[in-house]
Structure 1
């Protein structure tokens, strides 16, 4: 079962994530491009995941995390 990609806000942080990234930072442009690309893959993700069972981590979250890992040269998922 495909998990939800709903943003739950800040669980332990007292500063909004939008305030941490400057308005002109390149990540903002990359984020909009990635968001559009993942939106186009939404139907494909729905087709690949079962309709029942335990929900997984949303594939969109995994892809965005992997992209950050590559962009910031983070060596492992544990460090991410």
Structure 2
């Protein structure tokens, strides 16, 4: 477990405290869950960007191969 010091905007802190009072959850647990959730979202976005890049590379290569095949068809 790591200890981290944070500076949180007053409005975010106040809203968080109000929510914590209603759901009866420790602040530390709530912040850990929030960071975990945000990390999962960021990982998905990173993966999505990587898949799009890879897909674009494959698409371009596939088009190039297709053009090569078309040229071979015309030679016959």
TM-score normalized with structure 2 length: 0.33
Which one scores higher on RCO, CA 8 angstroms, separation ≥ 6? 1
Task: Pick the structure with more helix per residue.
Answer: 2
TM-score normalized with structure 1 length: 0.32
